[in-house]
Amino acid sequence: MDVLERSMEILRAYPLCDSCLGRLFAQLGYALENAERGSAIKTLLHMKLVTEYRQGADVSGDLKSLARVHRPTRRFLASVGVAVEDSQCYICGGLTSSVERYAKDAVVQLSGVDFETFAVGTTLPREVLERESEVVKRFLISTGESIKHEINRRIGREILKLLPGKKVDKQRPNVLVRIDLVTGKVDVVRNPLLIEGVYLKLSRRVSQAKKFGDVKASLLEKLAHVRDLYGGVEHLIHVSGREDSDARMLGPGRPLVIEVKNPSRYRGLPGRYEDGDVIYIPRGFTVREEIRRLKDKAKTDIKLYRALVYSENPLTETDLAKLGELTGKTILQYTPRRIKRLSPRKRRTRMVYELAWRLVSPHVFELYIRCQGGLYVKEFIHGDGGRTTPSVAEILNTYLEVLELDVLSIE
């Protein structure tokens, strides 16, 4: 069945406006709006039916069906003494006739937001969607698009006219224009801004997110200027692993993503930040998937630590040589006593790949540990009362205390 025959069959059953008729054949043709496509179909049907009527064919029923939604056909029938009333579109009820007007309200809502990309989302009356589904299923339409898709596109195109230079991005827009076609309400959702980078922590009194004990500041606090730069109302940090507040993060730094919520600006990277406690180096904008990748990667990263360790018993180079036994070992750890309130029975296994050491004095030695991410390094050294095994303390058979701990690199 060709397009004209199928369209006539549909119009016999339902009065449809130009947009709703044309939308059923949206995949046919190129560079046509649905209303143009629907109008062209009706015009061709009008020409065909009027010609057949004048040749004596009994097409009055089809003419009346078309006349319900086509003014030239109503005029023709009126000229031969047949009156037909204009009918409301069965699917949209006239909803599609002026959706572009919402673009002006959206532009007002977007004033004051420095953005580059946007998307449009709409809420339609449920009965409109149900009626569209009814028509599509009844006539087995496989060439159409949804009314929501059409309306979103038309409003988006109008916004582009009013705000030249902006771009539509349906996957990761800076802002989402939401339009409720039930209530007529228009609002704008400012999506979070995600900035990837690395940080170094030079102080032993700075935590990642929360202040406690003798911690003087948090990395989260120190990066508040990034939130302010983009006019955000809140910011979060997503980090690939973590170090204790009294451990320094050195070397090339630890990857992180700063999330700025509800920003009013989406352009321009922050500059490098340094205050003696931390160094922050931004790399660029990123996407939500990068946060998940950071979290997953933290479990498999290879990390190099330096620890300065106190031993209750005096040690010699010969004693420290025993630590070679730990190279290539799998370490079993129960949740450390210092944090076991979170999950006291949880246990994990992590690999220790390499160890190196240097005796500083009979009671102090320096230890370098290359290991799998997620190893509780302090507990690996002092044993945590047997909750970590094997441990450095177990091998050396002495009480150990970690005096300093630094993260030197993350591979």
Q: Which residues are catalytic?
A: 244
Residues forming beta bridges with residue 199, ordered by sequence position: 254, 280
- Write out the two tokens for 232: 């955000």
Q: Are 281 and 251 in contact (CB under 8 A)?
A: no
Nearest-angstrom CA–CA distance, 5 and 143 = 15
**Backbone Cα Rg of the chain:** 35
Burial class (CB in 10 A: 0-12, 13-18, 19+), 300: exposed
102 annotated to bind ligand: no
Nearest-angstrom CA–CA distance, 153 and 177 = 12
Number of DSSP helices (H) and strands (E) in the chain, helices first: 14, 17
376 annotated to bind ligand: yes
Residues forming beta bridges with residue 373, ordered by sequence position: none
Burial class (CB in 10 A: 0-12, 13-18, 19+), 171: exposed
Which among 48, 17, 22 is positioned nearest to 37, based on CA atoms?
Answer: 22
Nearest-angstrom CA–CA distance, 403 and 244 = 13
Q: Annotated binding site for substrate, which residues?
A: 305, 376
Question: Where is the binding site, in residues?
Answer: 305, 376
